[in-house]
């Protein structure tokens, strides 16, 4: 699943400044990702999405339940299980 997050670059901003003025950051996120720092160490990342589909893809790609299902499917395929493309009937 491809997603477009931010255009380029990364900026570090102390978490205290983000908390004080959160409303200004969405515009900045169009140009670059922002790494929030706590005591000078990375604590999180603010990212932007170009569309609702990009946001949905990001949520799906980071959902633990979805990731476990993908890993089980890969394991099944490696073990020779699963459905082969030629076995699927097309209507």
- Is the Cβ–Cβ distance between 54 and 3 less than 8 Å? yes
Q: What is the pLDDT of residue 24?
A: 81
Domain that holds residue 28: 10-79
Domain count, the chain: 1
* Residue 40: C-alpha distances to residues 15, 16, 34, 36, 69 (Å): 9, 11, 14, 9, 37
- Report if residue 4 sits inside a domain: no
- The pLDDT value given to residue 53: 93
Cα–chain center distance at 82: 28
10-residue block means of pLDDT along the chain (91 residues)? 50 85 80 87 86 90 88 83 67 58
Q: With respect to residue 85, please indicate whether it lies within any of the assigned structural domains.
A: no
- pTM over cut 0.85: no
> Which pLDDT belongs to residue 52?
92
- Whether 1 is in a domain gets the answer no
């Amino acid at each position: 699943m491809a997603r477009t997050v931010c255009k380029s670059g990364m900026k570090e901003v102390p978490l205290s400044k983000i908390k004080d003025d959160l409303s200004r950051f969405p515009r900045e996120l169009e140009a670059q990702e922002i790494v929030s720092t706590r005591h000078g160490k990375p604590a999180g990342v603010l990212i932007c999405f170009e569309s609702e589909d990009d946001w949905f893809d990001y949520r799906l790609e980071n959902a633990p339940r979805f990731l476990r299902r993908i890993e089980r499917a890969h394991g099944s395929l490696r073990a020779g299980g699963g459905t082969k493309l030629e076995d699927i009937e097309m209507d």
